[in-house]
Amino acid sequence: MDKKKLDNGEISYLCEELSILIHSGVSVGDGLSMLAEEETSDVRRGLLSGLASAVDGGATLAAALRDSGRFPDYVCGLLETGERAGRTEEALAALSRHYEDRVRLDRQIKSALLYPAILLVIMLAVIVILLVQVLPVFNEVYSYLGGSLTGIAGGLYAFGQALDHAMPVLCALLGIVVVFLAAFAASYKFRERVMSLWRRVMGDRGISRRINTARFAQSLSIGMSSGMPIEEALSLAASLLDHVPTAKARCLDCKKRIEDGAPMAAAMRDSGVLPRTECHLLELGIKSGAGDVAISEIARRLSEESETALEARVAAVEPALVMVTSVLVGVILLSVMLPLMNIMTAIG
């Protein structure tokens, strides 16, 4: 049975603490033991103690992490390369920054989408109440005055009556949605299956593709700064995008082009893993002997651009929701009130 992976925040914290301890001259095994002693969670304490025992028994840190089954392949692969190059501290620090960035981005997405989602639910509830409860009152008023709702108002009244009759079914669907959301929040396996399906279908379009490109550049920057060969860095970047098959395919295509002898910048441009402008910057960096610096700058720029694009898209959701729902509410009220005003004027 697959074990639940540590989340991005836990990975970032562990890598940062180990990096600091190693920098202070503490061995990996002793560092893990120290972290286990300070851990308040029994589960994490047991994990850290097991890792410390494995490392003290002669296993590498990367092997211990892989055998625990609690860490992504990307973490294990990058650490293995860092240990081979004698740069374990640098690899841990790079991993800490990488997963910290992912935590920050995920937090921004959640906080940015929460309020528009609540606003949408409230607005839909207002519209349903108008259609189901308010319009019938106006229809009774019209009937007392010898008229009836016609035109847009009549159509909305008929739609409201249909909603009212379908309310048991709608409540059942709402219950299913609530159960789905509860299962999504509570069950790690269910959440991973749903997210995996969504990523396969919609995970490489629009802003999602820009985010994937930024993560690819970040992982490639980590690999190159840790002294990793470009082919191996591309393989690790592809493993980070396992959940998005099309993005992973671009990484593997780039790797194949490089293995076939294509220049690095040209291979990345032709395979589509990086935008053309960024590939030009990378080409200049490679020619000047600063390829790792160039890819690090590219990763920073792409990350900022993807976050800006996401924030702009989310910022546009709220005004759009307010505008659309306000127009709908206004149409409903005006379609009812204007004929009523005409009738009252004729009576007066």
Going residue by residue through the chain (348 aa), what tens digit of pLDDT does each one get?
A: 456 778 888 888 888 888 888 888 888 888 888 888 888 878 888 888 888 888 888 888 888 888 888 888 778 877 877 777 677 887 788 788 878 877 877 777 676 667 777 777 777 787 788 778 877 877 777 777 666 666 777 777 787 788 778 778 878 887 888 787 777 666 667 766 776 677 666 666 777 788 778 878 877 777 777 667 777 778 877 777 777 778 888 888 888 888 888 888 888 888 888 888 888 888 888 888 777 788 888 888 887 887 788 777 777 777 777 787 778 777 777 776 766 666 666 565
Output the six-digit token pair for 220.
């490639």
Output the six-digit token pair for 289.
């002997």
> 160 burial class (0-12, 13-18, 19+ CB within 10 angstroms)?
buried
Given 3-state DSSP classes, what are the helix, strand and coil percentages for the chain, each rounded to the nearest 5?
A: 85, 0, 15
- Is 91 within 8 Å of 60 (Cβ atoms)? no
Output the six-digit token pair for 235.
């393989």
Domains and CATH numbers, the chain: 8-99 (1.20.81.30), 103-348 (no CATH)
Nearest Cα neighbor of 108 from 246, 301, 293, 304 is 304
Q: What is the pTM of this model?
A: 0.63
